[in-house]
A and B are shown apart, each in its own frame.
Chain A
Amino acid sequence: MTAGVVIDVLLGLILVGLATQVAIGKHLFRAIVFYVAFGLAMALIWARLGAPDLALADAAIGAGLTGALMMVAFRRLVEIDPKQSQALVTRGSALAVVLAVLAAGMVATIGLTALSLERQPGDAGLQVLATLQETGLGNPITGVLLVFRGFDTLIEMAVLLTAFIGSRVITTRSRLSVTTVSGFELPLVRTLVAVILPLAVLIGMHLLWIGSDQPGGAFQAGSVLAGSGVLLLLTGTLLPASRSRALVRLALVAGVGALCLLVLAPLLQGDGPMAYLGRGSLLFAETAMMVSIAVTLTLLFAGSPSLKAGSS
């Protein structure tokens, strides 16, 4: 056995072990914490498989923000009714085990059968790499997301916006609260934020800027910035506000708007819709998407339509 196989098996075992804790661990809160660890292990596996874009995205979104959203939702349940929030009615059932084993067997069979067939690189992937030179981009994934399958990305931004609007519609106005750590008088928190925040903004901008040529891009940058937004909310530097502001609304629709512009702008030049306009247009769209993603995810965490500066 080579070292590579050992690493693969170890990573696989870690991932399955964490998934076990998430799926059938005793306490809900522990399951959420393990889910965050699961996301990080997943990011390691993406890196191992040679997909750094996915590693960045999964570390920031899959582990970080999904975990933060789950925890804040759990916190809201505890605030409403501490007793019922943890009520875990799990009933061990033989049928569920059988079904789970069958499902796992199905996935394994499909995957292993597909692997045993003679595998050729997909035509679409080869075409992307062959035509990438013409677009002047260096990162094939950014190429797929914004040039070859830009329409998917437009719909994706629309889904994010719709999810936000949906959450606003069903969230009651009664209380706006995010539990902050400022109440605990932790002396080092502010210093830590002062160090981490500029770094996070720098990393976000860097990911956005290099995204055209290297691993990175609007999603990763946006989620890193959203992470800083969550940090600011937790320390009470930003607070949820109940009145929506025009600027915030603009930020929420910026991504969808910029991608729509990218679809329509070529019509002015007499090209078909969605024709490629060059790197500058992509940077414009990516910046707008980054702002939208960061603001939307931060507001989803805050559970409020807007934000305001904290008192201290």
Chain B
Amino acid sequence: MTSAIFVLVAAAIFGLGVHGLLVSAHIMRKLLALNLMLSALFLLLIVVPASIDGHPDPVPQALVLTGIVIAVSTTAFALALMVRLFRKQGHATIHPDLDPALLGRKHGRRTAPEAEGERAP
């Protein structure tokens, strides 16, 4: 019963993560959503294998522990990348309306430099 409940919880969090990742343009929100998906995965990894003597299987536990540290490392690196990107292009979003290159492709007539001018204050 406990396992089934937490599988459903993991599924809901994974879905929320996917939604957040797709919908939000801000990179930090995307990172938060990715971290949610990771947590859902960790939960699944612990809940699904059969427990031994009332405790979760130690091998997946060690895997998840490694995963938590890897997650914080990659998040820190991604955040540093985001700050650099923000410094360079003035916004930390991935969005077709704000990206000159994508904008040029989407609306053929509006060229990239114009988009640049619109954005700058």
Contacts and interface: CB of A to CB of B under 8 A. Distances in A.
Interface of A: 4-5, 8-9, 12, 15-16, 19-20, 22-24, 28, 31-32, 35, 38, 42, 45-46, 49-51, 53-54, 57-58, 61-62, 65-66, 69-70, 73-74, 76-77, 80-81, 84-85, 87-93, 95-97, 99-101, 103-105, 107-108, 110-112, 114-115, 119-122, 124-126, 128-129, 140-141, 143-145, 149, 152-153, 156, 159-160, 162-164, 166-167, 170-172, 219, 293, 297, 300, 303
Given A73-B79, A104-B12, A107-B10, A22 B69 contact: no
Contacts of A87: 26, 91, 93
Identify which of B36, B52, B61 gathers the most chain A CB atoms within 10 Å of its CB.
B61
A163 B74 contact: yes
Contacts of B26: 28, 87-89
Interface string B59-73: 111111110111111
A50 to B, nearest CB: 5
B79 A69 contact: yes
A91 B23 contact: yes
B43 interface: yes
A70 B32 contact: yes
Contact of A126 (B6, B24, B52): B52
A115 to B, nearest CB: 5
Given A8-B5, A99-B22, A124-B59, A119 B50 contact: yes
Given A23-B20, A23-B32, A57 B68 contact: yes
12 contacts: A38-B39, A51-B61, A57-B65, A57-B69, A62-B68, A69-B72, A104-B16, A108-B7, A119-B49, A129-B52, A145-B62, A293-B69
A112 B7 contact: yes
Interface of B: 1-20, 22-26, 28-29, 31-33, 35-36, 39-40, 42-44, 46-66, 68-77, 79-84, 86-87, 90-93, 95, 97-98
Contacts of A126: 52
Contacts of B72: 61-62, 65-66, 69, 297
A211 to B, nearest CB: 11
Contacts of A19: 12-13, 16-17, 36
A55 to B, nearest CB: 11
B62 A149 contact: yes
B11 A104 contact: yes
A311 B2 CA distance: 53
Identify which of A69, A104, A124 gathers the most chain B CB atoms within 10 Å of its CB.
A104
Given A97-B19, A128-B58, A108 B8 contact: yes
Which 5 pairs from chain A and chain B are nearest by CB?
A104-B15, A23-B20, A111-B7, A100-B19, A108-B11
Contacts, number: 289
A12 B56 contact: no
B56 A49 contact: yes
Contacts of B66: 145, 152-153, 156
A147 to B, nearest CB: 10
Contact of B14 (A50, A103, A163): A103
Contacts of A114: 48
A107 B45 CA distance: 11
A32 B28 CA distance: 9
B103 to A, nearest CB: 13
Contacts of B25: 88-91
A73 B82 contact: yes
B62 A172 contact: no
Contact of A35 (B18, B19, B32, B51): B32
A110 B43 CA distance: 13
A23 B19 CA distance: 7
B77 A166 contact: yes
Contacts of A51: 46, 55-56, 61
